[in-house]
Amino acid sequence: MSASRSSQRFRHSKLSLFVALATVVAAARAQLSPTFYASSCPAALVTIKTAVRAAVLLDRRTAGSLLRLHFHDCFVQGCDASVLLDDTGNFTGEKGAGPNAGSLRGFGVIDTIKALLEALCPRTVSCADILAVAARDSVVALGGPSWTVPLGRRDSTTASLSTANTDLPSPASSLSTLLAAFARKGLSSTDMVALSGAHTMGQAQCQNYRGRIYNDTDINAAFAASLRAGCPAAGGGGASAPLDATSPNAFDNAYYGNLVAQRGLLHSDQELFNGGSTDALVRSYAASPAQFSSDFAAGMVRMSGIGVLTGSSGQIRRNCRRVN
């Protein structure tokens, strides 16, 4: 077989896999409905929104934390609230995985929302749906776009530490690794670049950008120098830094302008604008807030349909931290 024919078959195989995954995600999403709680818990959405707004007013970082919780949930065995499960004597959850340990925040906000909803509508609103709606409301709270959240997810009774360690992209990921990670979830390259715009809010720990500010060459020199004072080259610890130094407390398209200026905080951020296939899209988002907002909202709806449990699958947890 010729090399070119082999390459064509490989590309066709990858395309077929992506189409199959996208079909599965679409089928799962079709079982969800934005009016799922209209009769069973009509105050569900306003209850979540009010609690999220209150939490973000107290600490604006909470918005990024809640959005990240939803992402870290969906990329590990689907949007099923598995990320919220605590370890027990005979159960290992995902909170101790490398990408999660010591960095995931916002669990208390979800606990508060769940307690409110259990008082209003016992055993009705899933933790997985709370995560999806809270992510949307967090974006809106910082001035970002809104979107209609399909509802009806149920909660898992399992979690996967190993999948959390393998499927969540690393801050050191290359562009090809990022594209592959999203493709495995049925998400396109456009989805990947748009959803990376979540880094317009939130912070990262020194350990996650230390290698970039000391070793990478595709970084603005003054930007790197400004970060080194709070993030020593050797040893642990160090400060945290905003993922978007331009407007860390607003959801906007400044993240992409930062990438064009070689001011991406994480190595994986700058990979989106580093001479590769996604450069043009980064420039488009940097120039058009409307295009970014539209693509981000569409990508969030697609991501929130990954591997959902519906119908009689899973359960409605009474406490998001443990199975019933």
- In the annotated binding site for heme b, the residues are 199
Give the gyration radius of the chain's Cα atoms: 20
Q: What is the DSSP string of 194-240?
A: HHHGGGGS-EEEHHHHHHHHHH-SSS-HHHHHHHHTTS-SSSS---E
Binding residue ranges = 73, 76, 78, 80, 82, 94, 169, 199-200, 244, 252
Question: Using the 8-state DSSP alphabet, how is residue 148 labeled?
Answer: P
Binding residue ranges for Ca(2+) = 73, 76, 78, 80, 82, 94, 200, 244, 252
Packing angle, helices 189-196 and 279-287, rounded to 10: 50
| Site of tokens 């959850």 | 93
Binding residue ranges for substrate = 169
Residue 320 to residue 126: CA distance in whole angstroms: 8
Handedness of CA 257, 260, 265, 268 (dihedral sign): positive
Residue 239 to residue 184: CA distance in whole angstroms: 33
Structure token digits, residue 147? 């979107």
> 3-state SS string over 11-55?
HHHHHHHHHHHHHHHHHHHHCCECCCCCCCCCCHHHHHHHHHHHH
Closest Cα partner for 192 from 295, 267, 288? 295
Q: How many CB atoms lie within 10 A of CB 204?
A: 19
Q: Is 322 helix (H, G, I), strand (E, B) or coil?
A: strand
Give catalytic residue positions: 72
